[in-house]
Structure 1
Amino acid sequence: MTSQKKMLLIALVAVLFIVCLVTLTMNMREKKMITSDTDMLVENTAVHLIEHDGVQVAYQNGLPIPEFSTWKMNEERRQYISLNGEWKFGHEDDINCPQADLTCSDTTYDDSAWSVQPVPASLDLAYDNKKYQYTFGSFWFRKVFKVEQDWNDKFVKLNALGMGYHSVVFINGTKVGVNEGSATPFSFNISPYLNYGEDNIIAVQIIRRAHDHEDVGALPAGGFDWWDYSGITRDIYLEATAPQTISKVIVDASPLKKRVRASVVLLNYSKEAATLDVQVHPGVDNIEAQTKSVSLGADEVKVVGFEFDAPDIEAWSTESPNLYQLTAEIINGDRLITQYGAIDVEVGDAKVLVNGSPEWFKATNWHDENKESGRSMSPEEYRAEIDVAKSASANLIRNAHYNRHPYAYEYADQIGIFVMDEIENYWLSEQAIGHQLYEKGLSREKAIAMAWNQVNHPSVIIWSVANENTPNNTTHLAWFNDMRDAVRLVDPKKRPVTYASNTQHHPVDMSMSAADIIGFNQYYGFHGGESEDYGAEQYRKKLLEIHERYPSKPIILSENGTWSSLGDRAREQWQAGNFAAHWDVTVTYPFTAGYTFWNLKDYRSKMEYTSRDPQRLSGMGMVDWNNRSPKVVYYYFQEATDRGANRIMNPRFERGIEEWQVISSTKQQSVTPTEEGLQLTLNASDSIMLKQNAFDLLAGKYVLELQLSSPEDAVAGKIVLKSSYLSGGSLEKTFDSSGSIKLPFTLTHNGVTSVTVQLQFEGTKANEQIIIEQVNLFPELK
């Protein structure tokens, strides 16, 4: 090579190096502008993180995202105006509201012809006799409210807990902000737009897209299997504080380390600097408050950290949901009370450890709706829904597939039930995932907001950032990593981050390598796969494959279930049998951390498969839609343990006597359901037989167990088990004096079968009483 060519090559390399360096520098500057800007009044309206004093603070619309537990409007040092109640309402087809100039937001616009409708409400159900269930486009809401003159020197926020999908908010004709998404709370600073001491007008435009839309920038990006409730669906209110205010407190309480840490996010919404004394009391016995002096510049945000030794703090658990109230206050100024619980969570060696002990999640998915209110439920209605899960002995609910009203988390904290929280990254294609990751960023915004808003709830045990998207590509892996890392930046507890993988249809998924817990959705034997054994062996094979690939990761079956209709006993039993088969596989292995049934209750959907039903219901609930009445699978789920699923309708069940067919031989005998079980009353020479079928048993080994109690020394009678797949067609065993009987048996057949259980008793004296406390039929797990 000539010296001239060498010089040209060196020059070319130098130029390329300079270009790369300049490009890298520009990218770094651009990234720094987005993530490290410390000015309060930034133009970036997206949810993003800014570090203050070593703590990542979530911003939106130019301000730290505030605490939304104030929806109860009971903080004594703050002032509130509820905007719940009557609003004027109109749809674009019924009102004169040109899109070009948005005259519907003007203060002089005449809305006298509009209807009056309630807020919050799901307009699908509440307005004009369900007229708008299938109506899309632009909906308008208007309301007049008055702000007192003394609010003029305060910082005033508009807090909305849920509206959309796409919402635009106007105050006195001026657009103050835009929000995308229906389930995540948001807040706007409206101080500059108010008329103090006078009437004000708020106008909200809700843009509802068609359910089957295709939009790579939206979440979800296409069709989805739940109801798209629209409108101002959750509480909306104004909150006024002093200019120097506490936006939020992040609490990290550890029962293992006996420590409470608090990060107090302070905002000085003023053009003048201020020096404040900030005091924090953790609300734990035998701990004194701490006070720190803080200097804040004009329009400045700071985070002040506090740490307390807490030897007397008690752990939060599902059995003992201990809660504390931390009080943070600016002396002679603003105050914010934050409820929290002490909990530690870590993942390792294929286990989820809660407060230092392995936890197994008996879980159910649920949708945020009921037939009366849609997604605009009252606290009483939320309690009724969540209580169903608790009464079914679930210890975790998965918030499929979006965030809930703040009250849902508060109630979960209160009654002691774990929560897997989730956002709307649902059925995204690789193209949509790439668009979110590299361009729009809404997926990351929702992940940040979820962690920020729910960070203090001890019930929230797992963060889920996606459901059934297109996996096994580097784009999906980078997308998950981006959201996981953002959540970890917000959450000081570093609770595990997962997503629900569509493993059945995408058997290989490289993103599992990055998840703290592997979430596994599967419907083998129902949506694809063999149905002869409910797909149980296909599930077992795939479960073992995943464990072999990722042996250190715990696996949660995050979805599994089937359809049934209340009252169709054959279908109910098929649903229960399917549950039992998949539950038994799940609890067999030590590397599983939970089973999550789909779904708690029947739910509404606009998918084609519901079009034949007038209510558009998917019947996959363990209770029905109309009255939350239990189906057979509810009882199966309720009694399922780490031994497997119990196939017998136990005498303690609500259905009790209805499940056991009673065959009487004399009139003197009686069968009475009691809290202890089924009480039998017999006289001498009386006999009684009870019969029940255990349906849909797969081939394998089982054991039938009976527990009786009686004041007598012995009970005369026997247990008889009948099936065409038993040797001789039946097995029987006489009751012993202890009242405890175990009868093992083996079924060898293809597919599923049933067995008949008969209990036969004979009276030996007058007014003899026997209580059948338990009848259980469990598998012998492999």
Structure 2
Amino acid sequence: MTKQKSRIVILLAVLIVVCLAITILNVRENKMRVSLTKLVVENTAVHLIEHDGVQVAYDNGFPIPSFSTWKLNEDRRAYVSLNGLWKFAYEEEISCTASELSCSEAAYDDQAWSEQPVPASLDLAYENGKYQYAFGSFWFRKTFTVDRSWEHKFVKLNALGIGYHSVVYINGTKVGEHEGSTTPVSFNVSPYLNFGQENVIAVQIVRPAHDHYDEGALPAGGYDWWDYSGITRDIYLEATTPQTISKVIVDASPVTKQVHAYVVLLNYGNQSETITVQVNPGIDQVDPQSKSIAMAADEVKVLTFQFDTPAIKAWSPESPTLYSLETEIKNGDRLITEYGAVDVEVVDAKVLVNGSQEWFKGTNWHDENKESGRSMSPEEYRNEIDVAKHAHANLLRNAHYNRHPYAYEYADQIGIYIMDEIENYWLSEQAIGHQLYEKGLSREKAIAMAWNQINHPSVVIWSVANENTPNNTTHLAWFNDMRDLVRMVDPKKRPVTYASNTQHHPVDMSMSAADIIGFNQYYGFHGGDSTDYGAAEYRQKLLEIHERHPSKPIILTENGTWSSMGDRARQQWQAGNFAAHWDVTVTYPFTAGYVFWNLKDYRSKMEYTSRDPERLSGMGMVDWASRTPKVVYYYFQEATSLGANRIMNPRFDRGLAEWQLISSAAEGAITVVEEGLQVSLEASDTIQLRQNAFDLLAGSYVLELHIKGVDGQAAGKIELRSSYLSGGVLTKEFDSSGTIKLPFTLSHTGVTNVSVHLHVAGKQDVVLEQVRLLPVLN
């Protein structure tokens, strides 16, 4: 009996131990589950979490959604646009504690506040620019209603541009914060809404002073553009079913002829669900595919689909073919994703796009205009980007921040490459260390950039920084961190670069880690010898960089000078500077592009613009207000791999004003026709074409004229004149229509010009279809 009792005691003890162990394991498991949920919910920083082998970008507790829905065009989703009039007040002009109520609370009386448009750049739009030099807190409030049917949906507040620092409240409850003005952000507002009733959204925008320094901010302090603030881009509510498609990542290759789709799913519901997902890649003769998946409550999963697409066409600037991939949950959510098939890689100091070497003729640009600041409409974006396209640019560098989703969509549609970039600008070594080891905002912006723009075929290069302190291990570690995160997000592994300030530093060790070397330089303008526009110093630096990194392609990511409309000498200098630096760049096979600074004059908060009421930096190839082309616009437009054309084709739309047309013939002897200039001369008459711009450095050139006789015959003589030619003149006779080439060499110090004289033999009509003066590159 005693033994039996002992066995029972032992058995009970074992059972107790087992139960205790199970309890402990359950508690630990629950704690782990709670901790994981807490991490997901409370980690408001942009970060990556791997799901089913795919890195998913999170912000504010859930996967960053697709912002392509800003058009409010998904018919299985519901929307409330918050664009329109909002109540607005500057905190210094109001009391935020009326009757112990904060400006954020729903019951706060905002009747005395003004009504202002959203989206808009508050520093330009409100009260005739009254606030462009005001800093601190600005408040925005709006009343809205949502349908009662939204009560069981997943509701997001999507803001495409809000800041610099923003705090968002719904019905008096803080739903989140955001730092940065140009990266879209999304908040889960489902728990805070009054369904079928009025709601109040309040947004506090904190704008730092121009002369502030905050090593945790991006940029940290001084920077050379205008800090537009407010709710500057579209803002809207989006409601989906609880089981929703957060985003679809599409990797389409014209080389492998395959499309991979990674569908990011969120079950926001409070119970498990089995859902069926269908994906249609939108390509002829390729059938949709379906998969079913079980999802627990509050779970994120990724489904991968692979399609063989032998008929897929490559996206390129010449043929910007786009497809629409449709993803739908059976009896539930749907999301349309536009994409194009493009592959980008770096091989032997070359950038290959779709397997072929590409050379980027680009321009930097700022996302702004005189009328709307950084709150441009789609039409204004089209007008802005068309200027670059018409200048024959094939690349836009998004200096130095992300754009509205429409800018990428339009680039996809018209066929222009994008180098996308984030706000890591002019950071000190201390600020870089703070970002790398403490705050991590640089990391967040890099992840968000790649995640948000991943499906745009126009985006072929990622840039993560501009002109920061180089040549130290902190900078190298910082760049490596961002580069690796971008690569983790992007299944295409598009090249990652940054714009180095190497002109002012002998070595930049971080270049060794970049896929493409980006190099900003202003020799002859900011530093260096101006007698040759700094061309010799640039050439020397370019060769030094290539010698250190012979396997890497180099892109000149910035080069330019100041100029202004009406100042002819400055415009000529700007054009000559461009020509000299372009010619050096295209000389070498290891360069992959030239990116001019800047597409258009732009607003800057820097002190050097303080005397101008518009605060303009006049470095554009077109004017700020009128968008009128400057001399350099035509030089850029005509530049090719042969070099920069110093003499514009003398047509009414190609720089006729760049010439002095002198003729001894009667009035009307020179007329503009579609082909060029028609010249009607008597036997004793001549025409002189004198180039206005003084931009010819010492070296070898070739003058090319294409002349066509109206009656099929053309005969005469061309004279090239310059004081730096032997004998002062070179002569070339012609006796038929066609191209006439006249090579020559100039030997001098500084810059000069030449004049061209055309003599026609006998009475005849000829048309000058083309006049080019190109360097002999070496």
* TM-score, normalised by the number of residues in structure 1: 0.93
Hey, what's the Cα distance between the residues in 2 that align with 1:511 and 1:421? Answer: 19
Hey, what's the Cα distance between the residues in 2 that align with 1:509 and 1:246? Answer: 43
1:687 and 1:762 in contact (8 A); partners too:
no
Structure 1: gaps spanning 5 or more residues: 1-32
Hey, what's the Cα distance between the residues in 2 that align with 1:308 and 1:669? Answer: 65
Hey, what's the Cα distance between the residues in 2 that align with 1:289 and 1:133? Answer: 52
1:689 and 1:761 in contact (8 A); partners too:
no
- Residues 233 and 781 of structure 1, relative CA distance in 2, 3 Å threshold: same
1:657 and 1:673 in contact (8 A); partners too:
no
Instruction: Name the structure 2 match of 1:334.
Output: 333
Partner SS for 1:157: strand
Quick one: which of 760, 763, 769 aligns to 2:765? 769
Hey, what's the Cα distance between the residues in 2 that align with 1:718 and 1:695? Answer: 24
Partner SS for 2:137: strand
Hey, what's the Cα distance between the residues in 1 that align with 2:315 and 2:734? Answer: 44
1:523 and 1:560 in contact (8 A); partners too:
yes
Hey, what's the Cα distance between the residues in 1 that align with 2:340 and 2:644? Answer: 32
TM-superposed CA distance for 1:684, in Å, is 6.7
Structure 2: gaps spanning 5 or more residues: 1-31
- Residues 769 and 98 of structure 1, relative CA distance in 2, 3 Å threshold: farther
1:378-457 equivalences in 2 (<5 Å) = 378-457=377-456
Is structure 2 residue 755 aligned with structure 1 residue 756?
yes
Hey, what's the Cα distance between the residues in 1 that align with 2:674 and 2:76? Answer: 49
Instruction: Name the structure 2 match of 1:635.
Output: 634
Hey, what's the Cα distance between the residues in 2 that align with 1:197 and 1:486? Answer: 42
Instruction: Name the structure 2 match of 1:237.
Output: 236
TM-superposed CA distance for 1:40, in Å, is 8.3
Hey, what's the Cα distance between the residues in 1 that align with 2:195 and 2:696? Answer: 71
1:392 and 1:638 in contact (8 A); partners too:
yes
Instruction: Name the structure 2 match of 1:15.
Output: none
1:472 and 1:511 in contact (8 A); partners too:
yes
Hey, what's the Cα distance between the residues in 2 that align with 1:244 and 1:694? Answer: 64
Hey, what's the Cα distance between the residues in 2 that align with 1:313 and 1:99? Answer: 63
1:306-705 equivalences in 2 (<5 Å) = 306-652=305-651, 654=653, 656-667=655-666, 669-682=668-681, 687-705=686-704
**2:421 counterpart letter in structure 1:** E
Instruction: Name the structure 2 match of 1:16.
Output: none
TM-superposed CA distance for 1:339, in Å, is 0.2
Partner SS for 1:695: coil
Hey, what's the Cα distance between the residues in 1 that align with 2:694 and 2:558? Answer: 23
Instruction: Name the structure 1 match of 2:286.
Output: 287
Hey, what's the Cα distance between the residues in 1 that align with 2:688 and 2:749? Answer: 31
TM-superposed CA distance for 1:770, in Å, is 1.9
Instruction: Name the structure 1 match of 2:775.
Output: 779
Partner SS for 2:384: helix
Deviations 1:674-708 (A, max 9, x none): 33211234467665444334522110000000001
Deviations 1:216-253 (A, max 9, x none): 10000111000000000000000000000000000000
Hey, what's the Cα distance between the residues in 2 that align with 1:45 and 1:301? Answer: 17
1:423 and 1:447 in contact (8 A); partners too:
yes
**1:466 counterpart letter in structure 2:** A
- Residues 665 and 304 of structure 1, relative CA distance in 2, 3 Å threshold: same
Partner SS for 1:524: coil
1:65-104 equivalences in 2 (<5 Å) = 65-98=64-97, 103-104=102-103
Hey, what's the Cα distance between the residues in 2 that align with 1:716 and 1:530? Answer: 44
Hey, what's the Cα distance between the residues in 1 that align with 2:762 and 2:245? Answer: 73
Instruction: Name the structure 2 match of 1:265.
Output: 264
Hey, what's the Cα distance between the residues in 2 that align with 1:314 and 1:762? Answer: 54
Alpha carbon RMSD of aligned pairs, Å? 1.8
TM-superposed CA distance for 1:603, in Å, is 0.3
- Residues 298 and 739 of structure 1, relative CA distance in 2, 3 Å threshold: same
Hey, what's the Cα distance between the residues in 2 that align with 1:352 and 1:58? Answer: 28
TM-superposed CA distance for 1:407, in Å, is 0.2
Hey, what's the Cα distance between the residues in 2 that align with 1:372 and 1:591? Answer: 41
Deviations 1:397-432 (A, max 9, x none): 000000000000000000000000000000000100
2:659 and 2:689 in contact (8 A); partners too:
yes
TM-superposed CA distance for 1:137, in Å, is 0.3
Partner SS for 1:307: strand
- Residues 37 and 461 of structure 1, relative CA distance in 2, 3 Å threshold: farther
Hey, what's the Cα distance between the residues in 1 that align with 2:762 and 2:378? Answer: 52
* TM-score, normalised by the number of residues in structure 2: 0.94
2:658 and 2:693 in contact (8 A); partners too:
no
TM-superposed CA distance for 1:528, in Å, is 0.6
TM-superposed CA distance for 1:568, in Å, is 1.2
**1:242 counterpart letter in structure 2:** T
TM-superposed CA distance for 1:577, in Å, is 0.4
1:668 and 1:682 in contact (8 A); partners too:
no
Hey, what's the Cα distance between the residues in 1 that align with 2:694 and 2:618? Answer: 20
Partner SS for 2:557: strand
Deviations 1:280-312 (A, max 9, x none): 000011100000011111000000000000000
- Residues 100 and 495 of structure 1, relative CA distance in 2, 3 Å threshold: farther
**2:561 counterpart letter in structure 1:** T
**2:326 counterpart letter in structure 1:** T
2:101 and 2:108 in contact (8 A); partners too:
no
**2:374 counterpart letter in structure 1:** R
Pairs aligned (count): 747
Hey, what's the Cα distance between the residues in 2 that align with 1:145 and 1:92? Answer: 23
- Residues 656 and 438 of structure 1, relative CA distance in 2, 3 Å threshold: closer
Partner SS for 1:226: coil
Instruction: Name the structure 1 match of 2:8.
Output: none
**2:774 counterpart letter in structure 1:** F
Deviations 1:736-757 (A, max 9, x none): 3132100000000111111112
**1:574 counterpart letter in structure 2:** W
Instruction: Name the structure 1 match of 2:138.
Output: 139
Partner SS for 2:430: helix
**2:94 counterpart letter in structure 1:** I
37-46 or 171-180, which moves further after superposition?
Answer: 37-46
**2:301 counterpart letter in structure 1:** K
**2:768 counterpart letter in structure 1:** I
327-336 or 97-106, which moves further after superposition?
Answer: 97-106
Deviations 1:141-165 (A, max 9, x none): 0000001111101110000000110
Hey, what's the Cα distance between the residues in 2 that align with 1:657 and 1:501? Answer: 38
Instruction: Name the structure 2 match of 1:22.
Output: none
Partner SS for 2:623: coil
Is structure 2 residue 218 aligned with structure 1 residue 222?
no
Hey, what's the Cα distance between the residues in 2 that align with 1:668 and 1:536? Answer: 42
- Residues 100 and 387 of structure 1, relative CA distance in 2, 3 Å threshold: farther
**1:700 counterpart letter in structure 2:** G
Hey, what's the Cα distance between the residues in 1 that align with 2:505 and 2:198? Answer: 57
TM-superposed CA distance for 1:480, in Å, is 0.2
TM-superposed CA distance for 1:332, in Å, is 1.1
2:652 and 2:672 in contact (8 A); partners too:
no
Hey, what's the Cα distance between the residues in 1 that align with 2:166 and 2:412? Answer: 30
Deviations 1:175-224 (A, max 9, x none): 00000000000000000000000000000000000122110100001110
2:350 and 2:590 in contact (8 A); partners too:
yes
1:39 and 1:299 in contact (8 A); partners too:
no
TM-superposed CA distance for 1:762, in Å, is 4.6
Instruction: Name the structure 2 match of 1:118.
Output: 117
Hey, what's the Cα distance between the residues in 2 that align with 1:306 and 1:531? Answer: 58
1:624 and 1:630 in contact (8 A); partners too:
yes
TM-superposed CA distance for 1:578, in Å, is 0.4
Deviations 1:444-469 (A, max 9, x none): 00000000000000000000000000
**1:569 counterpart letter in structure 2:** R
1:694 and 1:757 in contact (8 A); partners too:
no
